[in-house]
Amino acid sequence: MKNIEIVNALNNLNTFVERQRVARRSFLNVKGQFAIKANNEVLMTKYKPYMDTLNELKERYGIKDGVEVDNDVFTKELQDLLNIEVEDITLTKVSDKDFFDGVTIDDIMLLDFMIG
């Protein structure tokens, strides 16, 4: 799994959890909810070195959050960082049987990386 995939997976997990909170109901059974928690912990552990390196890059090039970047060298280094393959990631999978009725295709697509 590459850093970019880790970032996207974490964003998807957070969006999925928020959608459940707003709907005031669970979209997954207990096994599925456990998989969400377990995968979040695994991904956050692997995300930390990426974030540390990203912060170092931002500091080196004087990049501020929320400010458009016009620096080709920074952009190239960021792309290289995002494309690094991160090893030893084992995610807990869920199946279609773990989803409750009424779940939307949008919800399912958020968790596509852990359906198997």
Query: In the block, which residue shows the tokens 């199946």?
Result: 95
**Domain assignment of residue 110, given as a range:** 3-114
- Both tokens of 59, joined, read 């500091």
Q: 113 falls in which pLDDT band (50, 70, 90)?
A: very high
User: pTM here?
Assistant: 0.92
- Average pLDDT, integer, range 65-93: 93
Residue 30 to residues 48, 90, 98, Cα–Cα distance (Å): 27, 19, 8
- Average pLDDT, integer, range 55-73: 89
In this structure, the dihedral spanned by the alpha carbons of residues 70, 76, 78 and 81, taken in order and rounded to 10 degrees, is 180
The better pLDDT of the pair 9, 66 is held by 9
First to last CA, the chain: 16
Q: 115 falls in which pLDDT band (50, 70, 90)?
A: very high
The better pLDDT of the pair 36, 68 is held by 36
- How many domains are there within the chain? 1
